[in-house]
Structure 1
């Protein structure tokens, strides 16, 4: 009986396993092998030599170094601000009783909207002459900023767009976490004379620690993988003079632009290793500092 149930379960799972094997597992294995292709004939699909040439190339490639630097700048610019803003907005939304579902939907719309559509809108917002961003800045006496054509402001423009785009998801997750905090904790804190700020520090933040940890992990991984926003915002380029070049865009350019599959695969696995190490560190800190 158990054998028949196992066979039936395998038959049900087989279509999904087939798709995962063909479109996920096989590309992972193939790209890992390609990262060690030192001499590869693409047209005949023949590997003449394996080695670490692609990783050595990355080690000495200043463009890859710039992509790594820009990626870390992007992550450091997006993740903390996004988490702080989304937590603040989630706390405000959690206190609203009238039309609360409407406001939550409004904040979630940017997350589910097409990146291309969002980027087109933001290209107009960042327009040097007619953009609404420079229009508002003019009220404070600030001269028009070349957001998308200046090497100095391309990355800040990308960071602003990415923060706005990802707020909705983080807000929903924080709202779910806030609703699990019972009123008993807040009532006890009020009885002890705790003010609003003290209740936030000593009740809300500790109770939200697991949720914050989850949002932090997801935000870091997504930020390291940024690509769509760059491609759409800068019209298929990595910003002026590669000022918004990230590792994923570097992989894309090497793979589809130069057909250098070995270097692209090696760069992808370097990024994977970076994310993996950072995630391990986060989980280690989680075990030490966060109580569920």
Structure 2
């Protein structure tokens, strides 16, 4: 077997060169994002934040968690099309996704996963009694995941409870009120940051930021409504580089926007580094 192939299960390979799953059912081609998420998962780095960062944020794209869940659903469908159960991609609460090779493989027969390149006879054959959720020991999970990692042999993190990892079937993605509040807060923060940048370019708002303090020849400016805890001030001060001369801070509730500039931000073509974070 060439180094460009990874054995997922007997007769099923992932081919990184041709971006496809090779199986007795044929070649199941993957989109660029499907290929990327599968390689991240097989590399043992399937943390949700890592997947979102490497697939979207590093490309300058801001997405919500719904895009992550939709991509997971799509790659699971490709697994089913290749003759693997979608449960091979295990969801670990508060972590992300890991690949687990199971000894008894049955194709998923739910409508959600039976609509992509599936052999109808294979679907009927696989729609027998459903297996109940079971507990998989930590050692079993390590052994299973270890067959699908790349050359650096990184292992995914697990949440152990009494020497066992409880694996339950994923029941679908629902938008919780807490998630909605996070999305709303993020949208409000983006709107605030855009408004600040617009105000900075207006001639009549040269005094929008007011001088707050000076530390080690670095001037710190804040908006009139900005109130920062001492710990937040310490984080901002520690992020200053030797080239920084002026720091501008604005806040909207828990969201904080910071600009580290080599000169006055109102001047043209002044190099600045921007940062935004939540105090929670």
TM over 0.5: no
> TM-score band, normalised by the shorter chain?
under 0.3
Structure ID, larger Rg: 2
Q: Return the structure number with greater relative CO, CA threshold 8 A, min gap 6.
A: 1
TM-score by length of 2: 0.26
Task: Identify, as 1 or 2, the structure richer in helix.
Answer: 1
Task: Identify, as 1 or 2, the structure richer in strand.
Answer: 2
